[in-house]
Amino acid sequence: MEGAVVGLAVKAYDEGTKFAGYIKGKNDYVNDLEGNYLELKRVVGTLKARRDDVEAEVNRDKRLQATRECQDWILRVKEIETELSKLEKEYNRKGKRSWKPKSWFSKSKLSERIAKKSAEVRCLLVEGNFERGVVIAKLVKTVEKMGTLNIEDKQSLHTVFQKTLSYLKHDKIRRIGIWGVVGIGKTAIMQYLNDNEGIAKMFDIIVGISPRSPRGNPA
């Protein structure tokens, strides 16, 4: 009987110690609410500055693009900015001092969430170092189809097309010129060449021409 009483007493003491520790932890979060909030704003400010540097590096050369890793990181930074905005509103609403139990627990939870968010931001800052770089060369489409009209029923245009195609098959021919008056069909021939399957097999990359606007300026 005495052993049972001692056991219950020890258990009660342990439970009381755990509860006291729990209350102390919550109280610490309440006391640290303002400090945690200011720290979160600081680390997010640093994160945003890093994001701006990364985007500047990405946009410096139009021939390059952000890596998939970098794109995902930038999106996560934007999500953090949105979350910070929500936490700021909640902090302004709950941050006023009040010793009511409901308010006390609410502020404790808010402070804990803010502290965890700060830790998340620090991890994101480390990931933003990008040891393998933030950019890669843009992938170029081998052929960008223009969807031009079929010119096979237009004998004069189709004849020029066939001659041009035959010239392209000769390795010694380095330059081909097509000329004529406005509206004769030079652009149609070039676009038809661009879309031709035979041309696509001859070259790794085809640089086509843009269709022209009604005013005659490049579209």
Answer yes or no: is pLDDT of 23 > 60.
no
Cβ count near 193 (within 10 Å): 22
**pLDDT exceeds 80 at position 219:** no
139-179 residue pLDDT tens = 665 556 666 666 776 777 778 778 877 877 777 877 877 77
Three-class secondary structure of residue 218 per DSSP: strand
Joined together, the tokens standing for residue 129 give 């170092």
User: Which of 105, 137, 169 lies at the terminal end of a domain, its last residue?
Assistant: 137
Query: Residues 132, 170: one domain?
Result: no
| pLDDT for res 16 | 43
Full domain range(s) for residue 168: 140-219
Which of helix, strand or coil describes residue 153?
coil
* Single-letter residue type at 45: G
Instruction: Specify if 26 maps to a domain.
Output: no
Q: Is 102 inside a domain boundary?
A: yes
Q: Say if residue 166 is in the same domain as residue 177.
A: yes
Whether 17 maps to a domain, the answer reads no
Q: Show the CA angle centred on residue 87, arms to residues 112 and 84, nearest 5°.
A: 110
Tens digit of pLDDT for each residue in 100-141? 545 767 888 888 899 999 999 999 999 999 988 898 887 665
Same domain, 155 and 131: no
Residues 128 and 56 in one domain: yes
- Count of other CB atoms within 10 angstroms of residue 102: 8
Could you tell me if residue 147 is inside a domain? Answer: yes
Question: What is the domain count for the chain?
Answer: 2
Q: Which of 137, 152, 187 finishes a domain?
A: 137
What is the pLDDT at residue 42? 95
Single out the residue in 95, 119, 137 at which a domain terminates: 137
pLDDT number for residue 2: 52
